[in-house]
Amino acid sequence: MGYTVNINTQRCVLKGVFMMNISRFNADFGNSTSNFLSDSYYFEIPTCVVEVTKEQADGLFPNAIEDTADLLDRLLISTTISGEERFFMVGKLAETSPFANSHVGKMHDKISSNIPYATFLAAMTYAYKINSNDNAGKIEVENMKMMLPIWLLKKEDKFSIAQTNMVNRFTGEHTVKLLTVGMETELTINVKNAKCYIESEVGRWALKYKVINDKEKGSTVIEKRTEARKFDSNETVLVDIGGGSTDATLLAKGLGTPVSKDSFQVVQIDPFLGHLEKLLKEKLIQHFSDLRSLEKFIVNNYVTQQYILKNPNTGEKHDLTNKIVQALEDYSKVLVYQVMKSFDGNTKEALKFVYFGGEAPILEPYIKECVKHSTNEDIMENNHYFLSDLLEETIDEVFRPTARTINLAALEILSLSEKTK
């Protein structure tokens, strides 16, 4: 691959209406966080969507906001679904609602749920407002890419059936009103083309290739990663640990295409967010008001593995390390056991494993210990990888994948490749 592309977003005024053109819109509708790349501009929205009444929506904001920097935290939209206007708080605005996490603790059907759709509409309003002050306008999306987890794809006789259903939900025209006081806007969105990929499997593109800035050419180039050579002689299992489900995909040698439907496995384990919710209810209910506050606390402290809750007003401290670490260790034991047996009958050769997904960094030290315990240290070091160990850091890479964004980075690579073709 040696594709070259120049990145820009086109905007114009057509007959008095501000028209925004998005060439590439890539979406990862995660169960914890939804991540977006809009013509290489990255932003994320907590996956919290709560439906409210019109009366509740009208009285939600005591003051207008003046800066789009505050908009991501105060997304309130309405849209018409089945002929009825529906009102939704999206993202951080919805986090404190008792209904904010209705999709956790169970498998979340992203095809039929209103959560990805409302999040998409809110993301579109944000992308529009950071580019225009107009209170009405249009967005044309040339190409949109998204993904579905393996468990949803396996529900159908063919993966393509579920993928087509997801694509049909987003292709075509959509209308949305941004109701955030001070940012009120009415939008028409037209998605001209869309494709749906397989979560976890699509990540192989970001393991094989990277997008770099070529200063000599003055453009962006896709080139092969030298790190990908580690997988030339082995089949590789990609383990995508999400908040809702964990997928495992067996790739052919050289990070090649999976050979059959059996190469895609749903790891039989409770959703990670559901596991945290159980921990909250059973052992930490006196310390956290909701699941999101517990999740944020863990995210903010997992690097040190010291979970000390401090009251900034009183100075009171509570050491929650033992309870939280025990819960993470217990989850990792089941995860490693299920992952290791997913493809143990497929080959007698050594398999490589790559772990990513939003929860992978939190579970990384415990997964490593479990792998060492069930195999040995050499196998752990040579056959099991996390992105922080695997990917080399270079200053010219445009969007270096993290555990949370590798699937999104892969969609960007595919989008740029298509654009140049």
Higher-pLDDT residue of 370 and 347 is 370
CA distance 365 to 45: 27
What is the per-residue pLDDT across 94-135, written as a single tens digit (0 to 9) for each?
A: 887 766 666 555 557 899 999 999 999 999 999 999 998 888
348 and 407 in a single domain? The answer is: no
Beta strands 352-356 and 236-241: pairing type? Answer: parallel
Same domain, 263 and 191: no
In tens, the pLDDT along 44-78 reads 999 999 999 999 999 889 889 989 999 999 999 99
pLDDT tens-digit readout, 196-227: 999 999 999 999 999 998 877 778 889 999 99
Q: Where are the beta strands (DSSP E) in 261-313?
A: 264-266, 308-310
Residue 210 within any structural domain of the chain: no
134-165 residue pLDDT tens: 888 999 999 999 999 999 999 999 999 999 99
> What integer pLDDT is reported at residue 6 of this predicted model?
39
329 and 408, same structural domain? no
> Measured between alpha carbons, how far is 348 from 367 in angstroms, rounded to an integer?
23
Q: Which domain holds residue 346?
A: 228-390
Closest CA to 146 of 25, 61, 41: 25
Whether residue 194 is found in the same domain as residue 303: no
pLDDT in the model for residue 1: 43
Specify which residues 250 forms β-bridges with.
237
pLDDT at 5: 39
Q: Are residues 146 and 40 in the same domain?
A: yes
Please state, rounded to an integer, the average pLDDT across all residues of the chain: 90
179 lies in a domain? yes
SS3 284: helix
Residue 274 domain-assigned (yes or no): yes
Do residues 157 and 264 share a domain? Answer: no
Asked if the structure places residue 217 within a domain, the reply is no
User: Same structural domain for residues 174 and 290?
Assistant: no
Average of pLDDT values for 277-302?
Answer: 93
Instruction: Tell me if 180 is assigned to some domain.
Output: yes
Does residue 257 sit in the same domain as residue 380?
Answer: yes
- For residue 323, being part of any structural domain is answered with yes
Q: Which two tokens stand for residue 283?
A: 């052992």
Q: Which amino acid is at 412?
A: E
Res. 347 pLDDT band, cuts 50 70 90: low
Q: Is residue 268 a part of any domain in this protein?
A: yes
pLDDT surpassing 50 at residue 268: yes
Is 243 in the same domain as 303?
yes
- How much is the pLDDT for 384? 96
Q: CA 392 to CA 42: how far, in whole Å?
A: 21
φ, ψ (nearest 5 deg) of residue 19: -110, 125
Torsions phi, psi for 195 (to 5 deg): -140, 150
Is pLDDT of 2 > 60?
no
Q: Does residue 15 sit in the same domain as residue 113?
A: yes
pLDDT average, residue stretch 285-301: 93
Q: What CA–CA distance (Å, rounded) separates 418 from 421?
A: 5
Residues 402 and 386 in one domain: no
The residue-averaged pLDDT of 13-17 equals 54
The CATH number linked to 50 is 3.30.420.40
Strand, coil or helix: what is 349?
A: coil
Question: Which whole number is the average pLDDT over 10-19?
Answer: 59
155 and 285 in a single domain? The answer is no
Residues 255 and 201: their CA atoms lie apart, in Å, by 10
Is residue 141 within 8 Å of 189, Cβ to Cβ?
Answer: yes
Alpha carbon separation from 76 to 121, 141, 179, 218 (Å, rounded): 10, 22, 5, 40
Q: Which two tokens stand for residue 57?
A: 């929506």
The total number of structural domains that make up the chain: 2
